[in-house]
Amino acid sequence: MKHLEGMEHICNILFGSLHHCVVIVDEQGIITFMNERYYEFLGTSASRAVGRHVTEVIENTRMHLVVASGEAEKANMQYIRGNYMIADRVPLYNNGYIIGALGLVMFRDRKEWAEMNQHIKTLMLELESYQKKVEQLNGTSYSLHDALSVSPEMEEVKRNVRKVASSDVSVLLRGETGTGKELFAQGLHKLSERSMKPFVKVNCAAIPGDLLESELFGYEEGAFTGAKKGGKPGKFQLADQGTIFLDEIGDMPLNTQVKILRVLQEGEIEPLGAQGPRQLDVRVVAATNQPLEQLMETQQFREDLYYRINVISFTIPALRNRPEDIPLLSKFMLQKVTKRLGKRITAFDQQVLDRFLNYSWPGNVRELENTIEASVHLAEGETIQLSDLPERMADKRAAGGEWETKPLKQVLAEAEKQAIVQALKEANGEKREACALLGIGKSSLYNKIMKYGLD
């Protein structure tokens, strides 16, 4: 960082004898200064730390993210070398431009910190236990922290989501298939005052139109032939006091759109066969990968409903538009998949990462994860090579040298087929062992073998 070069002497005067750990990075996230206290704690030195990216020296650091966002982080928990630390991080500005960031890790003498750290660990374990119970009760498994990113576009979306999470305003999430709209919907819910109440998802495209109304609003006993004794609560009733997530709302039939509008306007529903309306308190978060404005022009989507759900709208960027996130996501997904499958694969060959960066990712983050899982099944060494990638990643167009974009259904089918072939190969044809490797049931495996003609 040219603005901070030559200031090492001043930094040493200011922070050299400070009891806390101090680190300074430049606008690229490169370490330019650390005090002796931090070197001692990390077991490193200036010659091994200064000049390297902060993520290579300090585990679980967020210094580079503070530089990217320009927003300070106060009293943030950080896990370093088996200990929970309390860290402050602030961006550094010069003439209105970010030139780096300063981080301060605070603790007192080691004995006092060890006692405090043990207490924090106990509390964190209790919190994790309670969080799992809450997730089971309210139907959420993601938070905004799961939307890993360093790209300015994605960080901006996350900042804005945090701003509106505490309100009850209706939110419309836009984005291509696989960008993570449900993750953001769950993140909104977890950050809201309704976080301890239910989060209920409805896939409007997956439920037949003639059943959608009863699924959403429920029915009373005897409402129609075959109705359950005692009736059945609808999704809106199940989400009372909480959040309902209407995924693929562009596929909702017009007659159902009218009733959704009533819920938003009046805060009430009327189950099939009911004598009158029932009051509800539900926050609505909708999502679509379709241009609703065009659907309104063709009378396929109600204009009044559009303005009700589109009070605040967020567009989640496609993966191809934030390539700087691909290495971060790839590393995280590799660790996640190998841990689940019990395989020791630690890295990607650089050619693989280059291929990832040059691929268009029509299925976005979901396709990236499926690609990595298929590659893990196919890989024989500890590093994923080009030869381990699904076939579509090797296909090139005759002209221009660009990789061919295929429909997501075809992409997923190819990855699934390759994973099954590799599992059967590793299991020497033993289908029971192949089921264990794939994490699926025996009947499911046989169906897929027949589907892909592998018998």
In the chain, what are the domain boundaries? Answer: 8-107, 145-315, 320-451
* Residues 162-174, mean pLDDT to the nearest whole number: 92
pLDDT confidence band for 285 (50 / 70 / 90): very high
State residue 315's pLDDT score. 94
State residue 398's pLDDT score. 29
pLDDT confidence band for 226 (50 / 70 / 90): low
State residue 86's pLDDT score. 80
Nearest Cα to Cα of residue 387 among 357, 422, 411, 420: 422
Q: Are strands 383-384 and 268-269 parallel, antiparallel or unpaired?
A: unpaired
State residue 400's pLDDT score. 36
| Tens of pLDDT, residues 392-427 | 776 544 223 454 555 656 666 777 777 788 778 777
Strand order across the beta sheet in which 31-34 lies: 31-34, 21-26, 97-106, 83-94, 73-80
| Tens of pLDDT, residues 242-261 | 999 999 999 888 888 888 88
- CATH for 145-315, options being 3.40.50.1370, 3.40.50.300, 3.40.50.1700, 3.40.1390.10: 3.40.50.300
More confident residue, 408 or 369: 369
Look up the pTM and report it.
0.60
Burial of 283 (0-12, 13-18, 19+ CB in 10 A): buried
pLDDT confidence band for 213 (50 / 70 / 90): confident
**Comparing 145-315 with 320-451, is the CATH topology the same?**
no
State residue 108's pLDDT score. 43
* Residues 433-437, mean pLDDT to the nearest whole number: 76
CA distance 210 to 220: 17
- Token reading at 212: 């959608």
Fold of 320-451: Helicase, Ruva Protein; domain 3 (1.10.8)
Q: How many CB atoms lie within 10 A of CB 360?
A: 14
315 has which bridge partners? 174
pLDDT confidence band for 116 (50 / 70 / 90): low
Fold of 8-107: Beta-Lactamase (3.30.450)
**Is 185 a residue whose pLDDT tops 80?**
yes
Q: For all residues of the chain together, what is the average pLDDT?
A: 82
State residue 109's pLDDT score. 44
**Is 6 a residue whose pLDDT tops 60?**
no
State residue 156's pLDDT score. 92
